[in-house]
Structure 1
């Protein structure tokens, strides 16, 4: 992936990993568009940064995604990089019948959102020079956190979808997966100060170094996430599930 001179659309750019990635790519000389539900947060993230733009988007609304994609292509015809980062994480209890609103919202936001937005923009990206799609999954795509089963499942599904997308778009659009470990952000309450989680700045430092490699790896994996990503291939999947969930309990 080219590191400068791009026009990058990044969802979920108003906080956490999305905001940090947006700032780092902007610092390298890219035009960056950040999108999300909370316009004020997006505007704060853009403050004082020329060529960084805030555009509202409800990633859970299929109609809004379609209208948004048309507007973005019209307003930013040089768009050549899409980063699907927006996501939510909800705790769920599986041992009783429950309201499935959290599970449904997680599927719509974390899985259908990236699929719909990619579908809306793939024709444009296929015609753009140096085009790339970056899908942000999670280490939990490979070893699930039992307390957040639908989140883990959507990230596993997005990993699989990314593998297929990469094969189909080979030679036209570079497809990259970024799979974070547990990082200190506000994805869940109190997570930004939780002991044992990777500090956000340290995570982004390592991520940007990996993005800068030539060729760019198809999977951007910081060292900390290897415990999860490689568990099955190394024959320790069951032990990793137990270790992860004992630590989280």
Structure 2
């Protein structure tokens, strides 16, 4: 059983006390109640530039842009569980969340730095169906581990339109209860080392048979150059 569990809630809402923020914070309360130490990252409060596609991260292990991202990256890498929360904008998670995910970049992907972490997604929209779709999509970043897989503890989509009127999420006690339960669940999964053996099985098979050999060959070929940081990270963890 893992001790000193760290859960991070990443909120991309533009409203500090908005619906999505309320749900993520309630999930963090659930995680804390289950024994985790918790931290919130409210992305709109940070200086976060756009990824330029320079790929310097795979060589150097960090992004050259002079903003707050490396501070955020450190917190993410140290976490055991990550709860991503975004409002639904035009049937997608919003631009700030997209920017955050892109800034984690190929280094995070190639070096499988989300490996062994647990994730969850939370989203809100006028309609519950669309909110669920986006919440599930947020968990996609935990479903593509090349050298080491990560796990999805669940997702929560909440509709904020009741009887033709938009209401605050915190007035929806059922939604808040579900968020609280999700926070407890992700912590419980980490405590109990729940490996979800059948989760994402087809993609894992594709990765194992095709993608992993391709990425391994590329990283070994470029280990002294453009994949220097990727190779070092994988090598230190015995993954390559």
The structure with the greater share of residues assigned to strand is 2
Normalising by structure 1, report the TM-score: 0.46
